Amino acid sequence: MTNDSIPDLTAFDDESLNQAFAALEQQAREAAAKINSEEDVEAFKLVWLGRKQGRLTEVSARWLKAAPAAAKKALGVRFNALKAAVEELLESAAGTGPSDAALKAEAIDITLPGTRRLLGAEHLITRTTNEIVSVFAALGYSVGVGPQVETDYYNFESMNFPPGHPARDTQDTLVIASQERRPLRDRLLLRTHTSPVQMRTMESQPPPVRIVIPGRVHRNEADDATHSSTFYQVEGLCVDTHITFSDLKGTLDHAMRALFGSSVKTRFFPSFFPFTEPSADVQISCIFCGGKGCRKCKQSGWIELLGCGMVDPAVFAFAAERQPAYDPKKISGFAFGMGVERIAMMKYGISEIGQFYSGDMRFLSQFV
């Protein structure tokens, strides 16, 4: 249909305008119904919306400009409605999809093998941490977390490392700069162990407490094959009435068997930690030679794995400042701590701790 079929308007009352615009909209709908290809879409657009010869352009020229001033508003409203209807018809027609030729060009042979999507996996540190935590979760322990940037009070003083104590040298750490004006106990540093979470937990809740605390820690020491300035720990704390060293031994014996197998044995040697008294180092029978002696256990048949001990009454005294229920005369408890990397190196036969942090996919992909 050409623009010549658009008649001139001779009456501008509402009924005449409604009939004229309804006829045009019906013509547009009939034309849109015949669209079957992209070429038809373009032709429809040109006929109805073309700037120079489009039908709506012709309507504007013949009807709007010729209308008396009193009828221009009513005519303009109907013109805008017609234009919106035509644009909607065009949009619907354009959405009918590509042609058969285009679909054929993009066809996919579904019988071909698909592209393999590589699945991610837990990092060994994460996997080992989760294994350790799950062992203690089965014993009723909950998980505690805390900040990596700690105050001197929580990292050292409340853990019975008083200022100037020689034991601080074994946990030399990185201190946040420009804090000289602060009191020592308020100065910020990177935590050297997850023990501050023990104190924060005791301050926030009365006993009984049973928590394991996984997390990253930092120490100012040289990196080598078995040491890193940044590493991961899992510590544990159990506080209640009548907790004894036998409870500690039984808990860790069970945990080591759960992690390394039922044939593993444990033994305890006296040690020193400022926050426990008495303190002990825990060794397990060598999982590589079964305790017979090999290069990895230095022919001793035993491997040192973690430290532990009964919570020092001085630590409870710090907790009692905010939570009086931690009266060292009424309660007792034990604590332990182990390095996640050390356990992962033993379980997965890794000799260089730096491989955990290298980001080398060739190394990590072995354990997917």
Segment 80-85 shows an average pLDDT of 87
| CATH code for the domain in which residue 352 is found | 3.30.930.10
Buried b (16+ CB within 10 A) or exposed e, 249-283: bebbbebbbbbbeeebebebeeeebbbbeebbbbb
301-319 pLDDT, tens digit per residue, is 999 999 999 999 999 999 9
User: Domain range holding 206?
Assistant: 124-367
Segment 256-282 shows an average pLDDT of 93
pLDDT of residue 102: 59
> Which pLDDT band holds residue 165 (cuts at 50, 70, 90)?
confident
Give the rounded percent of residues in the chain with a pLDDT score beyond 90.
46
Segment 114-121 shows an average pLDDT of 75
> pLDDT at residue 101 above 70?
no
- Amino acid identity, position 35: I
159 within domain boundaries: yes
Q: Are 7 and 66 in contact (CB under 8 A)?
A: no
Whether residue 84 sits in one domain with residue 25? yes
> Which pLDDT band holds residue 32 (cuts at 50, 70, 90)?
confident
Number of DSSP helices (H) and strands (E) in the chain, helices first = 12, 9
- Rg of the chain, C-alpha, whole Å: 39
CA 43/CA 320 separation, integer angstroms: 86
DSSP β-ladder status, 209-218 and 142-143: parallel
CA 273/CA 158 separation, integer angstroms: 13
Tokens of 142: 């909950």
Point out the least confidently predicted range of 84-88, 157-161, 204-208, 315-319. Answer: 84-88
Whether residue 203 sits in one domain with residue 316? yes
Whether residue 150 sits in one domain with residue 12? no
Q: 194: part of which helix (H) or strand (E)?
A: none
Whether residue 349 sits in one domain with residue 300? yes
State the total domains in the chain: 2
Whether residue 357 sits in one domain with residue 265? yes
Whether residue 316 sits in one domain with residue 183? yes
353 within domain boundaries: yes
Burial of 72 (0-12, 13-18, 19+ CB in 10 A): middle
Tokens of 302: 């035993």
